[in-house]
A and B are shown apart, each in its own frame.
Chain A
Amino acid sequence: MKGEATRRQVLAGGSLAAGAAMLGGCGENPIPGTLAGADWQRGHLLRDRKFPDPTGPIEDIGVVIAGGGVAGLAAGWRLAEARFSSFRLFELEDSTGGNARSGANAISPYPLGAHYLPVPNCEATALRYMLKQFGMIVGEENGVPVYDPYQLCADLEERLLWRGRWHEGLFPQQGLDAGTRVQRNAFDARMAQFRTATGRDGRPAFASPMALSSADPRFRELDALSFATWLDGQGFTAPTLRAYLRYCCRDDYGSEPEQVSAWAGIHYFAARRGWAAGGDGDRELTWPEGNGRLVHLMAGRIRSHIASAHSVFRVRQEGDGALVDVFDHRAQTSRRFRARTVVIAMPHFVAAPRVVPWIATGDFDPRGSYQYAPWVVANVTVSRPPEGKGVPLAWDNVSTASEALGYVVATHQSLSRDAGPTVLTWYLPLSKESPEQARKMLMTRRLAQWQAIVRDDLLAMNPDLTGAIRRIDVWRWGHAMIRPSPGFLSDPARHAAIASPPPILHAHSDMSGLSLFEEAHYRGVMAAEAALTHLDHAFESLT
């Protein structure tokens, strides 16, 4: 009889729960959550230059790194690797990591921005060195790196909600007309050509890091037109294909195909030649906290050199060194450093022309053609994992019917079978609006408004999450990503930053025009090695 009662209770529980789910609509109770983002007040202090003059003695130091995003941390990591210790890293925010920062709650850590790193190319030597040091590359097979299987993205990687059903991958596989299929195959073939093409200078047409790409005009001319124009010219016009390519552009650049250059659009598809044993070259490394794992490890290496809540607000060359003025946001005081080298690892829109004087000396607009794509990222805590008709839950889950980019699942790499609560990181690049309009939206919309947008979008993809949303934390990125607009390869401001000689060096993914971890890391390492050379500190180059 005990069995009988149990059986009834369970079946009853099931039916009642199903009924409750059908009846229970969206309550009007506010969803718990927070609205946060890059510290605009501190950022705008820089714009308005309202800092007190430095007090106290001038401190002598080898290297100052201005900015603690991926590039700044990579520069610091590189210096520490060379056993160089006379350096400080100043970060305006309370924590380092830039776009790769992460958060955490009782259920899981989660990304606030960048959430994966593709298996690096053979040419990304410094990055590979670091991944080996961090235990992400665990060995070699015939000289080819072997990646830690626990840190490679577990299967199922991606799924797409297309015509009411979840399909594997990000491109619809069924119900395509013949014309679309032909165009899709032709596009893939074209990208495969670009992937293996080399220029007359012997370099790959598209490399990662991009600085190692060929300068052959045959490829560089793709910088003159937009990706959309190039696609039109090539006859890649099928709406399903274009929707997919638009998704890719917005995913990597936060921008529409009309806004990015053909060179950048093609780079996304043609530059990835991941070098790994066991066929893992086309995989990604990912962690619950996204690239937060990488920046956390880099910062851990140089913890004692980092000062957060500090703004570098003025850099002036003095002899073969520089005077660096730094404002401490907590103490509300300024100090001056005499550095033998400065690495400007701030985004260009902060650095130029307010902080760094050299830029104003050129005969071009120091602000360059730099534009930044704003984003909204929401971390949604749910009491049960999403489901849906078709293939099961993947790491990256995308809907063809949504303007958002879908969501990644923080607990995807977990080995346990627990179907318990999880955190979904939901991404929306504000690419349709002008950056100014979009930033205004970011400033003025209230938490509840963003939460309603996120909730409605998520429930449209996954009605099964009705009643399962526990909280929504919204993160605003006013200047999330540099936009690789047509002409960015020849922008004189970009070239001036790259060519800037010591003592003032530049390091940021803005110099690549591509807001990618690999790019920022490369720029950071390059600047650090240039600084070491300038300081006559012996080291073995990683590049």
Chain B
Amino acid sequence: MDDETAASENGEKAPASLAVILLVSVLVVATCGLIYELLAGTLASYLLGDSVTQFSTVIGAYLFAMGVGSWLSRHVRRDEIGTFVRVEVMIAALGGWSAAGLFMLFPLVGDFRVVLYALVLAIGVLVGLEIPLLIRILRHRFAFRELVSNVLTYDYVGALVASILFPLVMVPKLGMIRTGFVFGLANVAVAIALLVALRRKRRIGADLAAALAVMASLVAGLTTADTMQRWSEVAFYGEPVIHARSTPYQRVVITRRGSDLRLYLNGNLQFSTRDEYRYHEALVWPVLGRVAHPSQVLILGGGDGLAAREVLRDPRVRHVTLVDLDPEMTHLFRDTPQLAALNHRSLSSPRVTVHNADAFRWVRDARGSYDAVLVDFPDPTEFSLGKLYTESFYREVARLLAPQGVMTVQSTSPLVAPRSYWTVASTLEAAGLTARGYHAYVPSFGEWGFTLAAHHPLSDSVALPRGLKFLTPASERAMFDFPPDMARRPTPVNRLDNQALVRSFAEEWGKYEG
């Protein structure tokens, strides 16, 4: 006891429970410290790419800053425990908001690296202060041998806890933004616990108020994390975003991880380069393989040019008319070399004419006769898209389809949404066409459905070109077979005045996604 009195330069007496709180706090602050470091590193590689460089430089900067903090601790001459509490509150505020702040600032600042490293250095300096201060506060509780052993043990155990929690629990379950807030709350909890333990020894009013304010801001952040996540869309996609753009019609986002490039429209996956060939072969060849002279081809939707690429492989095709609402989509996939390589520059082909127009208006005004029509719209997630799956729309398309022509319609998943899927067939039939459903397995989508339609009965025989990666005559025939869980069932006809498809689609996919 004498030691302790002598040690506390401001005459403060640490109560017995304090030692326990302090040792627990070593574990907590060590865990938090490493979490902030991992957050910064992950975020940097996520937003800036090149994860080896980002992780190395972030960790290096962080450790260096901790060294600076340790060195600075010598200038703390009085009130070690008060300083420690204030450091905790500051770490809680900075670390807790770090992930949310970096995501939100990313689009706003000119040079993101300046912000990133400033934050890493600030947190590092503060974390560097923690252990020296704790050792000094605890130095009279334990023998030096015991003290060093205790503190460093908890410090390293905390590091292990963090390194396991972060990839296995925090990021997958909470996401980066929430993880930041949760550990910020842990930091501020340590500060508040210490203040409460010290309440009889000193005036804690101002510090407690600051700590509570930080806690409130973190709780607010945690509860609005979803909103922030949406704002900072880069956090939404599982993969690094390489292009994001809002057009008047949709949000176009392209992500890339390794060789896998993905296109998202309004957050919905449109293709993954790993398996899009399955989707596009299934979209195109059952049609072209059933038409004797597919000279004129109409593609509705498909602004990524991938369906056009598949069509252009057929030398019988003399001209492709592609109608896509969004000029920015077709320009993007025509003019960006990396993306034009995916569609083999189909959108620049002299055999392709692109019309940027609303498909419904375009088909209502269009004249002419097409031997093959590929209808490849996004899923009917909203009323404006649902109109493109109605009887009225198919009547207009049927008018443009040559007597011997064949069309196909992307028709969502017959496994997840069988009622929606078969609604497309019922609707095509109501428009006076014969319809046949078929389906293909596309790993990034799952079991996916299409519907063939024509003015005449659709034959089984199909002529496929060589060199396809997915379709053979046998596998093509198998696509028309539906096991009971996807089998045809009675459905309403989708019409402008009932939008039956949008309703069943929302219900079936809502159930599936929970």
Pick the contact of B358: A8, A154, A416 (CB < 8 A): A416
Tell yes or no: A501 within 8 A of B by CB.
no
A443 interface contact, C-beta 8 A: no
Cβ contacts A275-291/B at 8 Å (1 or 0 each): 00010100100000000
Report the stretch among A10-18, A219-227, A305-313 that lies at the interface: A10-18
User: Does B245 interact with chain A (Cβ within 8 Å)?
Assistant: yes
CB atoms of A14 and B106 under 8 A apart: no
Contact of A150 among B242, B243, B496 (CB under 8 A): B496
Task: Scan residues 67-84 of chain B and give those whose CB is less than 8 A from a CB of chain A.
Answer: none
Contact call A15/B108, Cβ cutoff below 8 A = yes
B463 at the A interface (CB under 8 A) = no
User: Quick one: which of A3, A152, A419 has the most chain B CB within 10 A?
Assistant: A3
Partner among A12, A13, A16, A283 whose Cβ is within 8 Å of the Cβ of B497: A283
Please, which residue of chain B has its CB at the minimum distance from the CB of A394? B383
Contacting residues, chain A, for B360 (C-beta < 8 A): 415-416
Contact status B243-A156, CB under 8 Å: no
Beta-carbon contact of A11 and B107 below 8 Å: yes
Question: Which residues in A have their C-beta under 8 angstroms from that of B497?
Answer: 149, 152-155, 157, 280, 283
Query: Which residues does chain B contribute within 8 Å of A152, judged by CB atoms?
Result: 496-497
A419 to B498: give the CA distance in the assembly, Å: 21
Which residue of chain B has the shortest Cβ distance to A11 in the bound complex?
Answer: B107
Known interface pairs A7-B107, A149-B392, A392-B382; A417-B246 also in contact (CB < 8 Å): no
Check B244 against A7 for contact (C-beta < 8 Å). Answer: yes
- Nearest to B385 among chain A residues (CB) is A417
Judge if B231 is at the interface, Cβ distance under 8 Å: yes
Q: With a CB–CB cut-off of 8 A, which chain B residues contact A280?
A: 497
- In Å, the complex CA distance between A3 and B243 comes to 5
A12 touching B108 by the CB < 8 A rule? yes
Which A residues from 383 to 437 make CB contacts under 8 A with B? 392, 415-420
Cα–Cα distance between A106 and B233 once the two chains are bound (Å):
35
- In the assembled complex, the Cα of A16 lies from the Cα of B104 at a distance in Å of 11
**Count of interface residues, chain A, beta-carbon cutoff 8 Å:** 31
A12 touches B245 (CB 8 A): no
Partner of A415, one of B382, B387, B498: B387
Give the most central of A150, A154, A283: most B CB within 10 Å: A154
Q: Quick one: closest B residue to A154, CB to CB?
A: B496
- Min C-beta distance of A25 to chain B, whole Å: 21
- By beta carbon, the residue of chain A nearest B364 is A415
| Contact partner, B249, options A13, A16, A283, A419, Cβ 8 Å | A419
User: Are B107 and A150 touching (Cβ within 8 A)?
Assistant: no
CB of B241 within 8 A of chain A? yes
Q: A55 to chain B: which residues have CB within 8 Å? A: none
Whether A10 lies near B246 (C-beta < 8 A) is: yes
Contact A12 B107 (CB under 8 A): yes
Contacts of A149 in B (CB 8 A): 390-392, 495-497
Q: What chain A residues lie within 8 Å of B248 (beta carbons)? A: 418-420
Is B232 among interface residues, defined by CB-CB distance under 8 A?
yes
Among A9, A10, A153, A417, point to the contact of B384 (Cβ < 8 A).
A417
* Cβ contact of A7, chosen from B231, B243, B390, cutoff 8 A: B243
Bound-state CA distance A417–B249 (Å) is 7
Q: What separation, in Å, do the CA atoms of A253 and B104 have in the docked complex? A: 53
Q: CA separation between A284 and B232, bound complex, in Å?
A: 43
B407 to chain A, nearest CB (A): 19
Q: CA separation between A298 and B347, bound complex, in Å?
A: 48
Q: Pick the contact of A8: B107, B246, B382 (CB < 8 A).
A: B107
Q: Which residues of B contact A332 (CB under 8 A)?
A: none
> How far, in whole Å, are A13 and B364 apart by their CA atoms in the complex?
36
Are A156 and B496 in contact, CB atoms less than 8 angstroms apart? no
Could you list some 16 contacts between A and B, CB below 8 A?
Answer: A3-B242, A6-B243, A7-B241, A7-B245, A9-B107, A11-B106, A11-B244, A12-B107, A155-B498, A155-B502, A415-B364, A416-B358, A416-B361, A416-B384, A418-B249, A419-B384
Extra 8 A-B pairs, beta carbons < 8 Å, given A12-B107, A15-B231, A417-B325:
A6-B245, A7-B243, A7-B245, A14-B107, A156-B383, A283-B497, A392-B383, A415-B358
